[in-house]
Amino acid sequence: MKNRIKNLLFLLFISVTTTLSANGRDVKTFNDNWLFKKAENLPKVDDSWVSVNIPHTWNAEDMQIKKTIYYAGEAFYKKKYSPETSLSEKRIFLRFEGVASVAEVYVNNNFAGNHKGAYSAFVVEITNLLRFGESNDILIKVNNEPTPEVIPVNNTLFGVYGGIYRPVSLIITDKINIAVTDYASPGIYISQKNVTSKSADVNIKIKLENKNKKRKDARLITTVYETDGRVKKKQESVVTLLPQGRQFFHQDFRIKNPHLWQGLEDPYLYKVVTQLVSGGQVVDEVIQALGLRNFELKAADGMYLNGKKVPMYGVCRHQDRWGSGSALSNEQHATDLAIIKEIGATTIRFAHYQQAEYIYSKCDSIGFIIWAEIPFVNRVTTQERENARSQLTELIRQNYNHPSIYVWGLHNEVYTPYNYTVDLTTELNDLAKSEDPYRYTVSVSGYSKVDQACNLNADIQGINHYFGWYGGEISDIEKWVTGMEKEFPGYKIIFSEYGAEANVDQQEEVVGEFGRYFSQFYPETFSTKFHEIQWGVISKHPYLIASYIWNTFDFATPATTQGGVEARNMKGLVTFDRKIKKDPFYWYKANWSKEPVLYITQRRAAERENQLTPVTVYSNMGVPRLFVNGVEMTDYEMGTTKVHYVFKNISLKDGENTIQAKVANDGKQLEDQIIWNYSLDNKRLNKYGQPEKKTTEHIGL
């Protein structure tokens, strides 16, 4: 907590000191007072434009409610901008953090630039198109129709919400500056190697530009600060900037006795301030976080962070939210990370695309270990090669300096045409290694076997499989993982997706091991059993060096109906609106979190059909005491992990039953209580009007 407070105070210190440099970079928000209309409204009168602020999406409702009935096509945003005449000697850029998915930028009806890709940032310089001292028209043409040339090429697994759905910035710099248009990166790249508690070697690569007609001499000053503002290291270089091309400069540091970034345990961040000084004034400045760390993934063992083994308790996260689509505020992003931290996760797979810059920065300061990837997913068209390469380059350059990221994801479940896919995935791996030789790469297979040629072209292979949901039984996972241990020893394997749908409005007391994917009946209780069994197996097999639950939150799938709800995937541990944490959420919280947990399952299965029933309790504080209508029950069995308690042969009375659990440990006492209602009327009747016989085992047994 003390380090986090220091981090916040230092950020305030930096923001104050940089504003004193009047000639430095000026970054302004450019989010308010836009006008918007869909292309289908263009023939109408001008008042069909509506006022919006950014972030904005036009699919916040239609893509979430009715499958296949949503607007995907062209739309337009426009805004007035009046630069002062004093800015005519400056450079002016528009930086878009996310526009879905193809954008064209026009200034005063002149084409300024374009971008293809819904999830990465891009920058357009507009200096030469502006009329200084006058009002200028900024127009953005946006299109979110699927196209075979831009990944993702369809809306099958998730929807691409149209719009300028992440913030826009106006950036003003001197004519000599740190590069702004290098794939919208910070323009500086911080590399680290030989990181130990004794020393760390840091290289900072800076890209500079000179748009004057003559060469310029300048000083390049980089300072590494501790969180309390003390200078840890400083270096100054004299540079000559030519008016031709981009200049590349390197500064090397050896930091002695570094304070290491140790994930959730101690997410310590230095601040790196790089300044360009000319004529005795700071003309440009970029600030980046620096977390000194060393990641090492060991096959059949796990993750070692700075030589210390760290459990890889993983969840996946889609960015969309009920009623907001993908146009989220920083507060909404922070809420998601708080929920993920509550469950006890240590690592997050941000699937299946680059996510908001704010969220990567928050992960740096919180201490999550991150998997970042591009949206090369689900289908191959043979026309996406150039765009896949471009989006991977953007992902890496824009996020290169985030210490939380340990791996770059190249693709997810892409196969035929086979030769093309093998070639492209190999090419993407080589590109990632050229851009960043210091991190791992991963590719993901949807098959339950390792020897797929298109998935052997990265450092790590992720495997997505849903035993017991799309086929087979839940417990088939045990045979699968033990088989891989024998057949593919020495491979780095991550269980990159597993899960089952859970509709909190659908409940069933008795469930088997077979999912009913095609039935539209997705009881929460089945998902609970699924996770109890599967995590019980995963936790005992270090061969799976990490695992990621699909998904933290329910999300929109505009091509399907699932669990009786259109346009929804309900594999989330938390509902789409973030209001209900499902039973499996507390299963993982009990297993992963260091916070005390006591939780009785099946609280939403309140109308009981069976008088004789087990009760399942999760407790990470030792053996819980269970009381049913005030009477203590002592007959329990241990489940699949040490937090899993199943009290058997509980007899319910007719009417309302109070189920209460208590546990005390180290002076702390927790209680949880639910109400079940039992009546013969609750029983489901067969076609003969008789109670149905139960032949499958109860959840938790």
Rounded average pLDDT per 10-residue block, the chain, 701 residues:
48 37 80 94 69 97 90 97 97 98 98 98 98 98 97 93 98 98 98 98 98 96 97 97 95 98 98 96 97 98 98 98 97 98 98 98 98 96 98 98 98 93 97 98 92 90 96 96 96 98 95 88 97 98 98 94 91 98 98 97 96 97 97 97 97 97 90 95 52 39 27
Selected catalytic residue, list 413, 497, 509, 532: 413
SS3 content of the chain, % helix, strand, coil (to 5): 20, 40, 40
Same domain (yes/no): 168, 235: no
Same domain (yes/no): 232, 125: no
The Cα 195–Cα 251 span in angstroms is: 17
CATH number of the domain encompassing residue 501: 3.20.20.80
The Cα 8–Cα 12 span in angstroms is: 6
Terminal Cα distance for the chain, rounded: 41
Token pair, residue 161, equals 């919400």
Containing 434, the helix (H) or strand (E) segment is: helix 418-435
Assigned domain for 418 exists: yes
CATH number of the domain encompassing residue 237: 2.60.40.10
Q: Nearest-CA neighbor of 152 among 105, 100, 103, 115? A: 100
Same domain (yes/no): 202, 229: yes
Assigned domain for 419 exists: yes
Assigned domain for 60 exists: yes
Q: For residue 243, what are the contacts with CB-CB under 8 A and spacing of at least 6?
A: 210, 211, 212, 213, 214, 215
Residue at a domain's end among 583, 600, 617: 600
Please give the radius of gyration of the chain, using alpha carbons only, rounded to the nearest integer.
28
Same domain (yes/no): 224, 338: no
According to the model, what pLDDT value does residue 684 have?
Answer: 59
Residue at a domain's end among 248, 272, 290: 290
Range of the structural domain that residue 248 is part of: 2-21+185-290
Assigned domain for 693 exists: no
CATH number of the domain encompassing residue 75: 2.60.120.260
Same domain (yes/no): 467, 358: yes
Same domain (yes/no): 152, 205: no
Q: For residue 257, what are the contacts with CB-CB under 8 A and spacing of at least 6?
A: 197, 198, 199
Annotated catalytic, 413?
A: yes
Q: Nearest-CA neighbor of 98 among 55, 50, 150, 141? A: 55
The Cα 474–Cα 639 span in angstroms is: 15
Assigned domain for 566 exists: yes
Same domain (yes/no): 411, 504: yes
Same domain (yes/no): 338, 467: yes
According to the model, what pLDDT value does residue 100 have?
Answer: 97
According to the model, what pLDDT value does residue 23 have?
Answer: 54
Angle at which helix 476-487 crosses helix 524-538, to 10 degrees, equals 30
Same domain (yes/no): 47, 169: yes
Q: How many domains does the chain have?
A: 4
Same domain (yes/no): 387, 401: yes
According to the model, what pLDDT value does residue 692 have?
Answer: 54
According to the model, what pLDDT value does residue 12 have?
Answer: 42
Assigned domain for 378 exists: yes
Whole-model pTM over 0.85: yes
Assigned domain for 416 exists: yes
Assigned domain for 192 exists: yes
Same domain (yes/no): 458, 474: yes
Same domain (yes/no): 15, 83: no
Residue at a domain's end among 582, 600, 618: 600
Q: For residue 376, what are the contacts with CB-CB under 8 A and spacing of at least 6?
A: 151, 152, 384, 388, 391, 410, 411, 412, 414, 428
